[in-house]
Structure formats: structure tokens, C-alpha cells
């Protein structure tokens, strides 16, 4: 969230809404003059009731785009469909690999050589949805969860503002078959080899 605020995006951040009254992001947002709100999930016995209250709060600010950042609640299908095509998330893996929690642990256990992060449109299927942008990092022999997470997080802070910028500039097209194109985006060049091949 702080990276999005700092990115100087061509948009107004209407509000920062959290389900945790103690979330540090609320103070960060308030410090930048951004409206904040809390919808504490612990006040609701049923998930649909929480989602309805959250949607009502979001709609108060009339956003064009809903950006999830560190939001660790599973959202109902009704909520997701309400914002379909304008609800995005970032996940710390190269989706569709390693959905759910503990993605860095999963990557290390699988022995992959490349890991990363994905910005995607949210769909009712958890950690799936049309992919807007991904970043890959090497998995190094000495990595543990913390070192790998730090390397991925640096890329998360880079690609999430980029994805939001593209959306604000109306450069992102989501086709009926669920594929994303970005107008004017350069093709990725080269390849990341991990470990590097001998020359």
C-alpha cells in the first residue's frame, strides 16, 4: 500500500479500508491525507455479512478500481462478482503455481529455480484470475523463506504500482476468454536462467 501511495499514480486514492483496526496501513494512509475506514471481520458471524458490510463501505467512496494489498480474507463469490473486472490482487508466486499461504515455503519444498509474484484480476476461484503482470526472481541455493520472501517482496513493490498505472491509463484489456493485453507494453526480452548456464 505504501508503495502504491509513493508511486505518484495518475489517480486519486479514495480510501484505505482494513478489516484490522490495528493495521499499520491505516496510519500510513491517514498521514498522507487519505480517508480510512475499518470493517472489522470479527464483528460479523457469517462471511457474507462481513462482505456485504465491506462492499457497502467501499461503495461509499465510489472507486473505479479496488486494489487488495495484504488483505488475507477469502472473499465470497457475490463480493468478487460485484467488482468483477475492477478488483485486483497481488500474490507472492508465479500463478497458477503455489496458491494459498506459505508460497515461499512451497517453492522451496518443490525445488523450483525461479519464483516470483503475480498481479491478477480477482475471480471467485482463490488465487486465480487473469494475469496482468508477473515478476520472476531466482531461487538461490542458500535461500530460506525469509530471504526468498524479501527478494519477491521487492518485485511486488515494483509491479503492483505498474499494474495500477496501466489500469488508470486504460491500457489494460480483459478479453472474454480471460486473457489480458496491455497496450504499448514491450515484449519481455531474454530469459532468466537459474542457475545461469555456462557460456
pLDDT in tens, 130-142: 999 999 999 999 9
Give the model's pLDDT for residue 10.
95
What pLDDT, in 10s, does the model give residues 27-38? 999 999 999 999
Domain 2-182: which topology?
A: Rossmann fold (3.40.50)
Indicate whether 146 pLDDT > 70: yes
199 confidence band (pLDDT: 50, 70, 90)? low
Is the CB of residue 145 less than 8 Å from the CB of residue 113? no
Cα(164)–Cα(119) distance, integer angstroms: 9
41 confidence band (pLDDT: 50, 70, 90)? very high
What pLDDT, in 10s, does the model give residues 181-198? 999 998 888 888 888 877
Q: One of 32, 41, 91, 102 is an active-site residue; which one?
A: 91
Cα(20)–Cα(24) distance, integer angstroms: 9
Q: Where are the beta strands (DSSP E) in the chain?
A: 15-18, 35-38, 66-67, 87-91, 114-121, 131-138, 172-174, 180-182
104 has catalytic annotation? no
pLDDT, the chain, mean: 95
- Over pLDDT 90: what percentage of the chain? 91
What pLDDT, in 10s, does the model give residues 78-119? 999 999 999 999 999 999 999 999 999 999 999 999 999 999
Taking the domains of the chain in order of start, what are their residue ranges?
Answer: 2-182
Is the CB of residue 119 less than 8 Å from the CB of residue 69? no
Average pLDDT over residues 162-173: 97
Cα(38)–Cα(161) distance, integer angstroms: 23
Amino acid at each position: 500500500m505504501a508503495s502504491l501511495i509513493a508511486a505518484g499514480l495518475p489517480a486519486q486514492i479514495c480510501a484505505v479500508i482494513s478489516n484490522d483496526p490495528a493495521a499499520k496501513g491505516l496510519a500510513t494512509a491517514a498521514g498522507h491525507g487519505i480517508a480510512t475506514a475499518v470493517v472489522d471481520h470479527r464483528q460479523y458471524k457469517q462471511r457474507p455479512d462481513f462482505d456485504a458490510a465491506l462492499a457497502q463501505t467501499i461503495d461509499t467512496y465510489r472507486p473505479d478500481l479496488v486494489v487488495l494489498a495484504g488483505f488475507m480474507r477469502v472473499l465470497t463469490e457475490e463480493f468478487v462478482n460485484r467488482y468483477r473486472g475492477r478488483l485486483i490482487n497481488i500474490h507472492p508466486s508465479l500463478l497458477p503455481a503455489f496458491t494459498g499461504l506459505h508460497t515461499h515455503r512451497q517453492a522451496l519444498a518443490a525445488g523450483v529455480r525461479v519464483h516470483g509474484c503475480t498481479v491478477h484480476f480477482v475471480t471467485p476461484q482463490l488465487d486465480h484470475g487473469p494475469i496482468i503482470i508477473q515478476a520472476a526472481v531466482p531461487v538461490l541455493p542458500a535461500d530460506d523463506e525469509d530471504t526468498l520472501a524479501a527478494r519477491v517482496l521487492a518485485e511486488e513493490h515494483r509491479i503492483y504500482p505498474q499494474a495500477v498505472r496501466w489500469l488508470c491509463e486504460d491500457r489494460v484489456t480483459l478479453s472474454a476468454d480471460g486473457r489480458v493485453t496491455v497496450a504499448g507494453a514491450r515484449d519481455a526480452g531474454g530469459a532468466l536462467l537459474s542457475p545461469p548456464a555456462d557460456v
